[in-house]
Amino acid sequence: MTKIVQMSDVHLGFAYAGLTDRHRQQQRQQDLWQTFLNALAYCQKIDAQLLLIPGDLFDTPNPDAALVQDVQDAFRKIAPIKVVIATGNHDFAYAGSCWDEPQKWPANVHLFTGTWSKLDFPDWQITIWGAGFTAPYAKISLLKPVTPQTNHWQIGVLHGDAFTPESSPYDPLTAEQIANSGLNWLALGHIHKRIQNQVGATAYAYAGTPEGHGFDEQGPKGVLVLDFIPGQTTPTVTFQPLAQRQYEELSVDLTGLNSNSEAAAKIETMLAEKYGPDYQRHLYKIHLTGALPTTALITEAGLTAQLSVFDLRLRNETHLAIDYQQLAQLDTLAGNFTKKVLAKIDQAHNDQEKAQAQLALDLGLRAFQEDLTNAH
């Protein structure tokens, strides 16, 4: 049985510029590097024979020389595990690029930096096929069909777009093409989400990025472990989570709560339930919903201060717990105001206008209670 690890779209050197806090940026950069190292250590731990990296190992085509060297050293250390890399649209190979100096890459690293070619591992009855990006775009598919062999695994390593092949300039791969590839397994990179599929006799998967880069890459992230068991035509695939932190988005109903501490407690309970006792290490986008009492003193700033998680983005979608109809009956300034805005909600042409008027009502009534700038 041959064990292979597939790790895609690491994007080493990614800056995490989306995080405004510099320290958190640095921490995430460290996280990314740590996950990369952990993945290599994991390969050793499970005695993998091969590590497939189908592109975007680096975030840019001109990664920092020190980073490149660190990566080379890291690969060197896991020999005799063979590392097979195909360049992607982010780290495409060109004259003078870091891939352009094969002598600097350790002997256990094989690079696919050009057209479709192969690498034989007769001992394991495996042939690895691959191609690499040589420019930001590869508008023509890089995949070429191979001849299937019995009792021999044909494996492809490629960066490409199997989801929008009709319009993608990133090595478009049609289902037909994959089905006719003659490959048993196609290790793909480019889509950062974990996706596994099979067309014809060819199974393929995007391992997804091993460490998320933003809130559009939510949930557990890691690598795929492929067990090529004799007698089967496709490998057995296991997902191994490795990410240091996860990006998570959720809604919390704060109805009836009066203070930041109450709200914080509710959120913490919910996070611990969903993400375990180690929930504090993750990054969250939380939508605050529900009806707050008029007397409630809950502010985004106050809540943020009380919630101890690595990164937090709050979306305040709460409204005041007020009986608007009753308030509208009063001949007071607030009553008159409520009456007028309710009329506008009724007359709204669309949901957006309606939501806007609803928010105007909420903000207006809030303004009778407190300074709005503090709350924001």
**The tokens of 290 are what?**
């529900």
Tokens representing 326 are 């009753």
Query: Given the complex with another protein, which of 62 and 233 has the nearer CB atom?
Result: 62
Instruction: Please report how close the Cβ of residue 138 comes to Mn ion at its closest, in angstroms.
Output: 13
Interacting residues toward Mn ion by CB under 5 A: 9, 56
The CB-of-347 to another protein minimum distance in angstroms stands at 12
Peptide bond between residue 80 and the one before it cis (omega within 30 degrees of 0): yes
Among residues 9 and 311, whose Cβ is nearest to Mn ion?
9
Q: Is the peptide bond before 165 cis (omega within 30 degrees of 0)?
A: no
Q: Do 233 and 184 touch, CB atoms closer than 8 A?
A: yes
At residue 363, the 3 state secondary structure works out as helix
Bridge-partner residues for 206, per DSSP?
A: 188, 195
Contact partner, 31, from another protein, Mn ion, none, Cβ < 5-8 Å per class: none
Provide Rg for the chain, Cα atoms: 27
- Whats the size of the chain, residue-wise? 376
Q: Tokens representing 15?
A: 């800056």
Output the smallest distance, CB 138 to another protein, in A. 9
**CB of residue 8 vs Mn ion: minimum separation in angstroms?**
7
Q: Which listed option, another protein, Mn ion, none, makes contact with residue 328 (CB within 5 to 8 Å by class)?
A: none
At closest approach, how far in Å is the CB of 345 from another protein?
Answer: 10
Q: Is the peptide bond before 148 cis (omega within 30 degrees of 0)?
A: no
Tell me how far apart the 2 most distant CA atoms of the chain are, in Å: 89
Site string for another protein, 351-370 (x = CB under 8 A): -x--xxx-xxxxxx--xx-x
Q: Is 330 in the site for another protein (CB under 8 A)?
A: yes
Contact with another protein (CB under 8 A): which of 27, 34, 60, 259?
A: 60
Q: How far is the CB of 129 from Mn ion (least distance, A)?
A: 20
Looking up tokens 């880069």, which residue turns up? Answer: 213
- Counting contacts by CB under 8 A, is residue 336 touching another protein? yes
Strands 2-6 and 319-320 come out as unpaired
- What residue ranges bind another protein (CB under 8 A)? 14-15, 17-18, 59-62, 90, 92, 94-96, 134-137, 213-216, 315, 330-334, 336-337, 340-341, 344, 352, 355-357, 359-364, 367-368, 370-373, 376
